[in-house]
Amino acid sequence: MNEIARDPAADLGRLERLEGIGCARKRREDPRFIQGRGTYVDDIHLPGMLFGIMIRSPYAHARIKSIDTSRAKAHPGVHAVLTAEDLKPFKLHWMPTLAGDVQAVLADGKVSFQNQEVAFVVAEDRYIAADAAEMVEVEYEELPVVVDPFKAMLPDAPVIRDDLAGKDVGAHGARRHHNHIFNWQIGDRDRTDRAFDAAAVTVSQDMLYPRVHPCPLETCGCVASYDAVRGDLTVWITSQAPHVVRTVVGLLSSIPESKIRIISPDIGGGFGNKVGVYPGYVTAIAASIVLGRPVKWIESRNENLTTTAFARDYWMTGELAADTDGRIKALRVKVLADHGAFDACADPTKWPAGMFHVCTGSYDIANAHVSVDGVYTNKFPGGVSYRCSFRVTEAVYLIERMIDVLAQKLGIDKAEIRLRNFIPKDKFPYHSALGLDYDSGDYTPALQKVMKAVDYDALRAEQAAKRADPDCPTLMGIGITTFTEIVGAGPSKSCDILGIGMFDSCEIRVHPDGSAIARMGTISQGQGHQTTYAQIIATEAGIPASVIQVEEGDTSTAPYGLGTYGSRSTPVAGAAVARASHKIREKARKIAAHLLEVSPDDMEFDLDQFRVKGDPARAKSMKEIAWAAYNNVPEGMEMGLEAVDYYDPPNFTFPFGAYLAVVDVLKATGEIKVRRFYALDDCGTRINPMIIEGQIHGGLTEGFAVAFGQELPYDEQGNVLGGTLMDYFLPTAVETPHWETDFTVTPSPHHPIGAKGVAESPHVGSIPCFSNAVIDAFAHLGVTHTGMPHNAYRTWQQLLALNIAG
């Protein structure tokens, strides 16, 4: 940060020119996006490129008796048809997952979910490949299907994973059943049980967070190009973690990482869908190596929605113990987590339920215990963080629903019960009962600001009047959430992926003319990193953002980083950007001192220059210093002006928010109208307020989609329903409500510029807020919970059951 007191009036022009932290600078990436000049994976065309298409299983559970590829292979234009047998010599028919399990790349003797990958056809173009795919004859023998995680754990449930027979220990400890993956517990069970036994009041609620999908506009895909002469492998891929992909490809192929180049070009949304490594990538790479030609594989929408990365599917039971004035004594949680046929959850290695243990929320709860069981079913694998930092959405949903259930039981107002239980400001840093250290928070003023802005008392009065009127055509509901997020994975002592610590990185190179290029280990999928990282450098190193080029996603040029998901770019890479900027600045200080013939200690940093303390007229601008770095540096100093920083954060950051929703349920149809939504977010230091607002609008819209429409249900035969956009709800501007946003600023004490992540907060915080609002509309009728999505059909059933429809 700047070292000296500023006179804002005098600095105005220079400050504006920098476009640094706090500036609502327009997104640098938008001109190319809105003019159709972005470069996405499907825009890559290489000479001699072939196309691959996956052949998938129509059955959810079946033995493969035979695969006849002869007709397809004979079809003109077809170059190869790969099956598991073809991959076996290369040991590529199975691959490791991020969760320590293995997953079939191409089905090895049996299929365990509908649309599982069975064979890969490679042809001159996509149409020929599609025709040939029809000619592959697969003979299946159907097996009994289980899609319900409770039934999967019954003694006589069908065995989903034959390959694990006899293994009673998995990557996360003991397995107690053939479909059991792990049991994970945290907290003090005995103390929590005792607190429950002693409590005046207890409540319990079952809730399902249904299976959903991130559904980015661009589906997953890659172009793999192996150059047999040079021995180089280049892969363009829609990956949120290109360096991790390079390491995985290196491990699988035994090609040294130095010969592998992974390029994530422009990405049309990730939302967690593009964290994992999928069979299509492996088969495209294998085909390119075998055929010596580039191979492109791009998912269809149906493939995207039904095979790569679901989210949630958490069957949760929450219990709270409290005294009669609503002060919470203990929290107890049990979860059955449906992971599908392979455990491909994208979580840091040591955390099979991610950061679910943030489920004590914003509340000072002395005793807590959580137990999560992971289970195999005949559904597609995944378990990604759909706009949420590793199961935080599930955790926040649980606690925010439970607080409402408790309030209802005790007849305490839902805002009031929150105010009574907040972690007080003076308790930060706060050590939670489930072992997390919350870095900072200030919850009471945030909630009070929202209550004032919407005139909470007037809303409750209106609701009371409507409830008293039997002829009122609507039921009015008010939902509140006061959530705490945990983002910025993570300290490498507690977080790694495949053994690599979850640090991140930045490299800055300042050119002789004072312009600069910066590269990071993260990768924007639409977040606007090219705009915002430059702002950090502008403020911290005094170089105008307009002359800073930000580049991400090419493993041959960017320093190693763990990628962009879990709102970690600002907390982790953003800190590396600030620290690399400081290194640049310190070298600049010495060069400036040398040019002015004073001691470096006598120099002070001043926006975009170094000046002599007490003699501000004597100064050298960063531009002059950059030039000098290439021709006139102090004796013994290396030429050039560049810096690299690898940042291993000491802790996560804990952004928070207070949200309020008002909904009207139409008694005549069961339709629900979101009348008002007020979102206050606190992400510490705000780098670009306009981008933050855009991120919040996006996250709220996705939250609205989940709460009111998105789900991927299965029928008894294991057919996935919801695999097209006819069934899977993607809101447009037409359905989306109007959002009101607000903020407070509580900087992170351990982040170099005090910034916390923000992008996932609106999703995490809004979903329980919508549910709380909908259920609040029925609260006076004794309803404590209804499941998502809150669509008109489900709500209509509820109205009928209560005898108030019409």
**Which tokens in the block code for residue 59?**
């059955």
Nearest partner of 399 among 485, 475, 461, judged by Cα: 485
Of residues 161, 332, 339, 387, which one binds ligand PCD by CB under 6 A?
A: 387
Q: Please pick, among 388, 495, 506, 769, the residue that the annotation labels catalytic.
A: 388
Return the number of the residue (456 or 565) whose C-beta is nearest ligand PCD: 565
Listing DSSP states for 160-204 in one string gives S-GGGTT--EETTEE--STTEEEEEEEE-HHHHHHHHHH-SEEEE
Of residues 354, 566, 649, 789, which one binds ligand PCD by CB under 6 A?
A: 566
Question: Does residue 344 touch ligand PCD according to CB under 6 A?
Answer: no
**Which tokens in the block code for residue 208?**
């399902």
At closest approach, how far in Å is the CB of 474 from ligand PCD?
Answer: 34
Q: At what angle do helices 689-708 and 761-778 cross, to 10 degrees?
A: 40
Options 165-173, 183-191, 552-560, 686-694: segment touching ligand PCD (CB under 6 A):
686-694
Q: Please pick, among 19, 319, 540, 760, the residue that the annotation labels catalytic.
A: 760
Return the number of the residue (386 or 796) whose C-beta is nearest ligand PCD: 386
Question: Does residue 526 touch ligand PCD according to CB under 6 A?
Answer: yes
Interaction partner, residue 501 (ligand PCD, Cu ion, none; CB < 5-8 Å by kind): none
At closest approach, how far in Å is the CB of 645 from ligand PCD?
Answer: 17
Of residues 264, 527, 555, 798, which one binds ligand PCD by CB under 6 A?
A: 527
Cβ contact 662:729 at 8 Å? no
- Tell me 573's DSSP state: I
Dihedral (Cα; 444, 446, 449, 453), 10-degree rounding:
-130
Active site annotation includes 175 = no
Q: How far apart are CA 441 and CA 429, in angstroms?
A: 8
Residue number with the smallest Cβ distance to Cu ion: 385
At closest approach, how far in Å is the CB of 520 from ligand PCD?
Answer: 10
| Residues in 242-271 at the binding interface with Cu ion, rule: CB under 5 A | none
Cβ contact 385:354 at 8 Å? yes
Q: Is 418 left (phi over 0), alpha (psi -120 to 50) or beta?
A: alpha
Q: Please pick, among 240, 463, 535, 798, the residue that the annotation labels catalytic.
A: 240
Question: Does residue 565 touch ligand PCD according to CB under 6 A?
Answer: yes
Return the number of the residue (570 or 766) whose C-beta is nearest ligand PCD: 570
Question: Does residue 391 touch Cu ion according to CB under 5 A?
Answer: yes
Options 158-166, 681-689, 713-721, 794-802: segment touching ligand PCD (CB under 6 A):
681-689
Cβ contact 401:409 at 8 Å? no
Residue burial 671-708, b: 16+ Cβ < 10 Å; e: rest: ebebbbbbbbbbbbbbbbeebbbbbbebbbbbbbbbbb
Q: How far apart are CA 84 and CA 104, in angstroms?
A: 8
Options 39-47, 382-390, 477-485, 511-519: segment touching ligand PCD (CB under 6 A):
382-390
Active site annotation includes 609 = no
Question: Does residue 386 touch ligand PCD according to CB under 6 A?
Answer: yes
Residue 420 exposed, middle or buried by CB count within 10 Å (0-12, 13-18, 19+): middle
Options 145-153, 406-414, 525-533, 705-713: segment touching ligand PCD (CB under 6 A):
525-533
682 φ, ψ (degrees, to nearest 5): -125, 110
Active site annotation includes 388 = yes
Question: Does residue 550 touch ligand PCD according to CB under 6 A?
Answer: no
Question: Does residue 77 touch ligand PCD according to CB under 6 A?
Answer: no
Sign of CA dihedral 79, 82, 87, 93: positive
β-pair type (382-384, 310-322): parallel
Question: Does residue 362 touch Cu ion according to CB under 5 A?
Answer: no
Interaction partner, residue 718 (ligand PCD, Cu ion, none; CB < 5-8 Å by kind): none
Provide the mask over 467-506, with x wherever binding to ligand PCD is found by CB under 6 A and - wherever it is not. ----------------------------------------
**Which tokens in the block code for residue 756?**
């916390």
Residue 379 exposed, middle or buried by CB count within 10 Å (0-12, 13-18, 19+): buried
At closest approach, how far in Å is the CB of 312 from Cu ion?
Answer: 7
Question: Does residue 535 touch Cu ion according to CB under 5 A?
Answer: no
Question: Does residue 27 touch ligand PCD according to CB under 6 A?
Answer: no
Interaction partner, residue 367 (Cu ion, ligand PCD, none; CB < 5-8 Å by kind): none
| Residues in 715-754 at the binding interface with Cu ion, rule: CB under 5 A | none
At closest approach, how far in Å is the CB of 695 from ligand PCD?
Answer: 5
CA 440-441-443 angle, to 5 degrees, is 170
Return the number of the residue (385 or 522) whose C-beta is nearest Cu ion: 385
Q: Please pick, among 387, 418, 568, 589, the residue that the annotation labels catalytic.
A: 387
Alpha-carbon Rg for the chain, nearest whole angstrom, is 28
**Which tokens in the block code for residue 3?**
């070292």
Return the number of the residue (663 or 712) whose C-beta is nearest Cu ion: 712
**Which tokens in the block code for residue 416?**
């009031």
Question: Does residue 570 touch ligand PCD according to CB under 6 A?
Answer: yes
106 φ, ψ (degrees, to nearest 5): -125, 140
Options 30-38, 183-191, 391-399, 539-547: segment touching Cu ion (CB under 5 A):
391-399
Of residues 52, 272, 279, 553, which one binds ligand PCD by CB under 6 A?
A: 272
Cβ contact 123:42 at 8 Å? no
Of residues 57, 179, 288, 385, which one binds Cu ion by CB under 5 A?
A: 385
Cβ contact 799:792 at 8 Å? no
Q: How far apart are CA 787 and CA 503, in angstroms?
A: 38
Interaction partner, residue 62 (Cu ion, ligand PCD, none; CB < 5-8 Å by kind): none
Question: Does residue 320 touch Cu ion according to CB under 5 A?
Answer: no
Question: Does residue 662 touch ligand PCD according to CB under 6 A?
Answer: no
271 φ, ψ (degrees, to nearest 5): 55, 25
Options 184-192, 431-439, 731-739, 753-761: segment touching ligand PCD (CB under 6 A):
753-761
Of residues 362, 367, 532, 746, which one binds ligand PCD by CB under 6 A?
A: 532
Residue number with the smallest Cβ distance to ligand PCD: 526
Question: Does residue 569 touch ligand PCD according to CB under 6 A?
Answer: yes
Return the number of the residue (388 or 691) whose C-beta is nearest Cu ion: 388
At closest approach, how far in Å is the CB of 151 from ligand PCD?
Answer: 29
**Which tokens in the block code for residue 174?**
């003991």
Dihedral (Cα; 233, 237, 242, 247), 10-degree rounding:
-40
At closest approach, how far in Å is the CB of 583 from ligand PCD?
Answer: 21
Interaction partner, residue 391 (Cu ion, ligand PCD, none; CB < 5-8 Å by kind): Cu ion
Cβ contact 104:118 at 8 Å? no
Sign of CA dihedral 391, 98, 489, 517: negative
Return the number of the residue (210 or 528) whose C-beta is nearest ligand PCD: 528
Helix/strand/coil (H, E, C) string of 308-327?
CCEEEEEEEEEEEEECCCCC
Report CA-CA distances (Å) from 8 to 14, 285, 295, 607. Answer: 10, 56, 57, 11
Q: Site size for Cu ion, by CB under 5 A?
A: 3
- Owner of token pair 């590529």: 92
Of residues 54, 365, 388, 696, which one binds Cu ion by CB under 5 A?
A: 388
Question: Does residue 758 touch ligand PCD according to CB under 6 A?
Answer: yes
Which residues contact ligand PCD by CB under 6 A?
A: 216, 240, 269-272, 385-389, 525-529, 532, 564-570, 683-688, 691-692, 695, 698, 755-760
Catalytic residues: 240, 387-388, 760
Binding residues (CB under 5 A) for Cu ion: these are 385, 388, 391
